Chain A
Amino acid sequence: MKQPLNIIIFDGSFKTTAFINRLVKGLGVRHAVYILGFNEELNHKIKGVQYVALGSNQSKVRFVKTTLGYALQSGSVQKIALTIKNLFQGNKKQLQEQNLRFVLNSIQPDIIHLQWPSVISWFEETLREQNTPVVLSQRGFHNNVRPFVEPENFTYLKHWYPKIAGFHSVSKDLINNGDKIWASPSKLNRVVYTGLPLSDFSFSSPYNLAQPLKLLSVGRTHWKKGYDYALQTCCILKERKVPFHYSIVGGAGDEELQFLIADLGLENEVSLIGRLPQKEVFRRMHEASLLLMPSVEEGLPNVVVEAMALGLPVLSTDCGGVPELIADGVTGWVVPVRDAEAMADGVIRFKGLPQEDIEAVRVAARKKVELQHSEEGMVAAMECLYFETLSSFSHLKRTK
């Protein structure tokens, strides 16, 4: 049995993503987990996790209270005086950095896990000193897009990557992209797939193919989601006289999508729906015939994992980590990115499939998710990455 660790989880905010929430809940059982943040608004704290404020971005009063509190605790008169001076001059960033240093000193973490490449800048000093190992989660947009369209970002990451002790990615594809920034034989790269509480995802059985077809997409609107391609797909389906209805949950109010629907004459075939609570999303997933995932870029889309767990067949582009999840014709169907026609062909082929073929895919998809995306598996794999990081980090230090 390995020793319990002091783990800092950092994404800049107390309000962490569903993925991080599930991870820290699992880690909290054996380890001391700290979430540090500038954004302190949070309705439901996770049990067993300690939330540590770094100086609120929302409330000036709380910012001053937190900052002065840490300065007083340090006991240094000089520091207190300097803090008051900085407070008057409004040097917020500098004070937040001071708070972070104080918190790091008092927690004495064994490991610091940064959730996004964009937060590296807060830990430059830690990385320079190399006293505490830092694990970085590589993410879809931050790793697949930004470094390759903003040369300064690429250079920045290339500079700091060698100082990061361990890399977590949600797909193998992300590892490949991360390696384009910096690669080395000693680089510690691990895939830890997103974990779902699968007991909450009841497999929908029986499944009936609705007439007309009910196509569904779920997710906020962003260009990388490729909804513009999905609407082109709808246009082709309409031209080919395939009866269908397509709903985009999370698409309401988007100007581009509204324009395209009107311009392509799809007012009767497409509905843009606002954000819905998870229960309602699941209900719609149970009713739908097929999930369309038209993204041009993804780390590994959670919505696909969820649909597969619920028994909703998925037709997806081959972006990011999707091929690690869907084998075409086995656990779902895959088409190339940016190809509306291929997606339309995919829908038509799906519509012509015998019920038993669809059933086989649904069952295989659920099995795949159970195998690759269990919550326990995720927590264990992350723990494993932390211990590997610690051992290679201390080994490196000894050899230096």
Chain B
Amino acid sequence: MRIGIVLSQPPGYSETFFRSKILGLQENGVEVRLFCQHRNDEFTLCPIVVSPKVSKNPFLQLCFFIKEFVLLLPYLFTVIRYVKLERAEETLWVQIIKKVYLNAHLLKAKVDWLHFGFATMALGSETVAKAIGAKMAVSFRGFDMVVYPVKYPGCYTKLWKYVDKVHTISDYLLELAKKNGLPDSIPTSKITPAVAMKIFAHKTSNFKVSNDLVFITTARLHWIKGVVSTLEALAILKEKGFAFTYKIIGEGKEYERIAFAAYQLGLKDEVQFLGKLPHEEVQKALEDAHIYLQYSKQEGFCNAVLEAQAMGKLCIVSNAGGLAENVLHGQTGWVVAKNNPKALANQIEKVLYMTDEEKAHISKNASERVRKEFDTEKQLLAFLDFYKDKNA
């Protein structure tokens, strides 16, 4: 079987989830090919096909155009099928020519499945899979269902018409997709993210806070991650006399916003921005922390929390999106209503006052549940099953 995965760029080294999926598929005799907008030298797991370039220089663009159209000549029948499909969709000729160019790399593909890594990636390429005689699959990410359709209502109408099978990482995202028009007739499969348990081995944590109490969050510095609300909760704890350090791993365009909140809330000395860290250092930092916080405004599922649980960290998260499926309140961690820093502060305080036995119990539950339900092996079997299901 040959599977083409469409992503904006090859997965980075730390994206173990994608890498293990690709490796696993290959080990099971599946040929995997990546279709991306950019190449990246460090990715060598499978061949990468790069999409046609777009240049601002009209002369260069014309040259690119001619080159692509010449290269498409051997695929004339595919192109004709594609044009017919687009005409049936009442796409204007100018648009069709543009689309043929932009999808040229996909139109040349010989695959059984064309799997779009996220729904917005499939926009503009909805009919390509049918034209090349492949099945079309699409995965949902948080942004696809939560932010994008709010801005562009009805953006997925055409996608729902052509997609053969849908992959979701959480029930929450599937529910939202249905709200955004996904018909019940399209088969869906929930495959949650997974953690390579070999990497995230659970060590028995010592819950005694000897010197400095450490909270930690791994998140892009972006409003959707709710870091400012987290800081507001921590400011309440500081007011109550708790001494702590809060480490934030990750970088992003809203550093100023978050750093200013820390400054204004009087937490400048407590907050450490660690920036983007390599995987081993993330683990090291997590090991040293006492409580993992993920107080997001929205999450599709959140791998970071899964990894923290795998390590047996005490996790306190918001109830946004898929987080409540990720952490089971009172069993593998704690789920707090989103947008409510006071509630978060209360929950943190409660956890701090728990006995070590209580904490150890939750920690054990968390890592065991991840091992049992979110292991990469299990995820791989689910994906093999996903593509095998030819009735889709």
Residues of A within 8 A of B (CB): 145-146, 148-150, 223-224, 228, 232, 235, 253, 255-256, 258-264, 296-297, 337-338
In contact, A149 and B223 (Cβ under 8 angstroms): no
In contact, A262 and B263 (Cβ under 8 angstroms): no
B75 lies within 8 A of chain A by Cβ:
no
In contact, B298 and A223 (Cβ under 8 angstroms): no
Which of A146, A148, A224, A228 interacts with B223 by CB under 8 Å? A228
In contact, B264 and A259 (Cβ under 8 angstroms): no
16 contacts between A and B (CB under 8 A): A150-B256, A223-B223, A223-B256, A223-B257, A224-B260, A235-B339, A253-B151, A258-B147, A258-B150, A258-B151, A259-B298, A261-B150, A263-B297, A296-B264, A338-B232, A338-B265
* Whole-angstrom CA separation of A259 from B223 in the bound complex: 11
* Whole-angstrom CA separation of A338 from B268 in the bound complex: 17
* Whole-angstrom CA separation of A146 from B255 in the bound complex: 11
Closest residue on chain B to residue A296 by CB atoms: B264
A148 in contact with B150 given A223-B254, A263-B298 (CB within 8 Å): no
B196 lies within 8 A of chain A by Cβ:
no
In contact, B260 and A259 (Cβ under 8 angstroms): no
Closest residue on chain B to residue A319 by CB atoms: B264
In contact, B264 and A149 (Cβ under 8 angstroms): no
* Whole-angstrom CA separation of A145 from B264 in the bound complex: 9
CB distance from B291 to the nearest CB of A (A): 23
Q: A255-B151, A256-B223, A338-B261 are in contact. List 18 more A-B contacts (CB 8 A).
A: A148-B259, A149-B255, A149-B256, A149-B260, A150-B256, A223-B256, A228-B223, A235-B339, A253-B151, A258-B147, A258-B151, A260-B297, A262-B150, A263-B146, A264-B339, A296-B260, A296-B261, A338-B265
In contact, B147 and A255 (Cβ under 8 angstroms): yes
Closest residue on chain B to residue A146 by CB atoms: B256
In contact, B151 and A148 (Cβ under 8 angstroms): no
Interface residues on B, range: 20 to 34
* Whole-angstrom CA separation of A255 from B260 in the bound complex: 21
CB distance from B278 to the nearest CB of A (A): 24
CB distance from B51 to the nearest CB of A (A): 25
In contact, A145 and B223 (Cβ under 8 angstroms): no
Give the total number of A-B pairs whose CB atoms are below 8 A apart: 53
Closest residue on chain B to residue A262 by CB atoms: B150
A148 in contact with B263 given A223-B254, A258-B151 (CB within 8 Å): yes
CB distance from B211 to the nearest CB of A (A): 26
Contacts of B232 in A (CB 8 A): 338
* Whole-angstrom CA separation of A256 from B339 in the bound complex: 14
Contacting A at CB under 8 A, from B229-283, are 232, 254-257, 259-261, 263-265, 268
Interface SS, B side: helix
Residues of B within 8 A of A (CB): 146-147, 150-151, 223-224, 232, 254-257, 259-261, 263-265, 268, 297-298, 339
* Whole-angstrom CA separation of A261 from B232 in the bound complex: 21
A145 in contact with B298 given A255-B147, A338-B232 (CB within 8 Å): no
Sorted from nearest, which 9 A-B pairs have the closest CB atoms?
A149-B259, A223-B257, A262-B150, A148-B263, A258-B150, A145-B260, A256-B223, A259-B147, A149-B260
CB distance from B288 to the nearest CB of A (A): 24
* Whole-angstrom CA separation of A146 from B256 in the bound complex: 8
Contacts of B147 in A (CB 8 A): 255, 258-259
In contact, A259 and B259 (Cβ under 8 angstroms): no
* Whole-angstrom CA separation of A337 from B263 in the bound complex: 13
Contacts of A258 in B (CB 8 A): 147, 150-151
* Whole-angstrom CA separation of A145 from B146 in the bound complex: 31
In contact, B255 and A337 (Cβ under 8 angstroms): no
Closest residue on chain B to residue A144 by CB atoms: B260
* Whole-angstrom CA separation of A367 from B151 in the bound complex: 43
CB distance from B11 to the nearest CB of A (A): 25
Contacts of B264 in A (CB 8 A): 296-297, 337-338
CB distance from B293 to the nearest CB of A (A): 18
* Whole-angstrom CA separation of A228 from B297 in the bound complex: 11
* Whole-angstrom CA separation of A146 from B259 in the bound complex: 10
Closest residue on chain B to residue A149 by CB atoms: B259
Which of A148, A232, A261 interacts with B260 by CB under 8 Å? A148
CB distance from B190 to the nearest CB of A (A): 22
* Whole-angstrom CA separation of A261 from B150 in the bound complex: 9
In contact, B297 and A149 (Cβ under 8 angstroms): no
Closest residue on chain B to residue A258 by CB atoms: B150
For A232, A255, A261, A297, the residue with the greatest tally of chain B CB atoms inside 10 Å of its CB is A255
* Whole-angstrom CA separation of A260 from B298 in the bound complex: 10
CB distance from A144 to the nearest CB of B (A): 8
CB distance from A227 to the nearest CB of B (A): 11
CB distance from A262 to the nearest CB of B (A): 5
Closest residue on chain A to residue B321 by CB atoms: A263
* Whole-angstrom CA separation of A255 from B259 in the bound complex: 21
* Whole-angstrom CA separation of A62 from B265 in the bound complex: 48
* Whole-angstrom CA separation of A111 from B263 in the bound complex: 35
Contacts of A261 in B (CB 8 A): 150
* Whole-angstrom CA separation of A296 from B263 in the bound complex: 12
For A253, A264, A338, the residue with the greatest tally of chain B CB atoms inside 10 Å of its CB is A338
Contacts of A337 in B (CB 8 A): 264
In contact, B254 and A149 (Cβ under 8 angstroms): no
* Whole-angstrom CA separation of A253 from B223 in the bound complex: 16
Closest residue on chain B to residue A147 by CB atoms: B263
In contact, B255 and A232 (Cβ under 8 angstroms): no
Closest residue on chain B to residue A267 by CB atoms: B150
* Whole-angstrom CA separation of A150 from B264 in the bound complex: 14
In contact, B339 and A297 (Cβ under 8 angstroms): no
CB distance from B47 to the nearest CB of A (A): 35
Contacts of B254 in A (CB 8 A): 223
* Whole-angstrom CA separation of A223 from B150 in the bound complex: 20
Closest residue on chain A to residue B265 by CB atoms: A338
* Whole-angstrom CA separation of A105 from B1 in the bound complex: 75
* Whole-angstrom CA separation of A261 from B151 in the bound complex: 11
Which of B150, B255, B257, B339 interacts with A259 by CB under 8 Å? B150
In contact, A149 and B263 (Cβ under 8 angstroms): yes
Which of A148, A149, A259 interacts with B146 by CB under 8 Å? A259
* Whole-angstrom CA separation of A262 from B257 in the bound complex: 23
Contacts of A223 in B (CB 8 A): 223, 254, 256-257
Closest residue on chain B to residue A260 by CB atoms: B297
* Whole-angstrom CA separation of A235 from B263 in the bound complex: 27
* Whole-angstrom CA separation of A264 from B264 in the bound complex: 26
* Whole-angstrom CA separation of A258 from B151 in the bound complex: 7
* Whole-angstrom CA separation of A146 from B260 in the bound complex: 8
* Whole-angstrom CA separation of A256 from B223 in the bound complex: 8
For B223, B224, B260, B261, the residue with the greatest tally of chain A CB atoms inside 10 Å of its CB is B260
CB distance from A155 to the nearest CB of B (A): 16
Contacts of B298 in A (CB 8 A): 259, 263
Closest residue on chain B to residue A338 by CB atoms: B232
CB distance from A6 to the nearest CB of B (A): 37
